[in-house]
Structure 1
Amino acid sequence: MDYQYPMDLDWSTEEIVDVIKFFEAVEKAYESKIQKEAFMKAYRRFKEIVPGKADEKKYTDEFESVSDYSAYLVIKKSKEIEDDDWIRMK
């Protein structure tokens, strides 16, 4: 991984850490697997920090441009599977 996670300098340290955890959850869905519950917890926290759709799109698009991992597709898949299932994007 040779990229930086998108972030806002106005966020607190805790918020930055939690946004990074969300992007790491997206990575995990692509690189191995992650339980839906764990992913959704990270996503809900991300949405507390980035509540607006436009800002969410800005940060997730920026992340996708540097990583080639689509947070949108992981979120979409998480809505299609059962609660106790695993998310695998391979």
Structure 2
Amino acid sequence: MDKPLNELLNEYIAAHSKGEDSLRAFWEYVISIGAYKQMRQIAVYQDVIFSYKKDQAKPSCNGYCEKVYTAEDAEFARVQIEHLLKSCQ
């Protein structure tokens, strides 16, 4: 791999915030350097964190809105990302 996974993760987060075209270009790059499997695992966990943060921004909806992920899920995802990054160094 040309870049460390933590650098790719930062690029994924930036691409995610910019929209579809950036994500497509990002994944094409990841595939071209042979890091798809590792980055896909990290992206799944990062999406849990994105979803949790998005849920936190929603109003409480008087208890009728179902939250997809909990704080424990987000923390678990964060720990898994750390383990994946360490294992691929």
TM over 0.5: no
Higher-Rg structure is 2
For this structure pair, what is the TM-score category when the shorter chain's length is used for normalisation? Answer: 0.3 to 0.5
More helix by share: 2
